[in-house]
Amino acid sequence: MFVRMNKFWACLATVLAAVFLGCATTRIDWNSRVGSYTFDEAITELGVPDRQATLSDGTVVAEWLTGRGGAYGNSYNWGRYSRFQTVDIYEMPDRYLRLTFGPDKRLVRAGDFSR
């Protein structure tokens, strides 16, 4: 009986640890990086941006793809031998991170958007 209870608690602890570790995310607080995070650090951490533009005042606006969208669909037949069919298609847009760096190449603004 004692061995069974130890196995039970060991299994429970393993499952709980897996659940908590699986739910951990590494979200970046971009507001805390404003003013100190540089464009070079962004390239080192995130890689080369997917899109980048330099404005006339030296401001750099860069975008990184953070999540690929997709599409899925459902089809419905009306009756067993019916010729009528409906199809529902759901599309999800790509998700991007846009970072704006001032002329001194330090982070001024950060935001997420979908396209």
Predicted local confidence at residue 19, as pLDDT: 56
- What pLDDT sits at residue 42? 95
Strand ranges in the chain using DSSP code E only, listed in sequence order: 51-54, 60-67, 70-77, 85-92, 95-101, 107-114
pTM comes to 0.66
Per-residue pLDDT of the chain (115 residues; tens, 9 = 90+): 445 556 776 666 666 665 555 554 568 898 999 999 999 999 999 999 999 999 999 999 999 999 999 888 887 777 777 677 778 888 899 999 999 999 999 999 999 999 8
> CA 44, CA 38: separation in Å to the nearest integer?
10
Task: Determine the pLDDT at residue 85.
Answer: 75
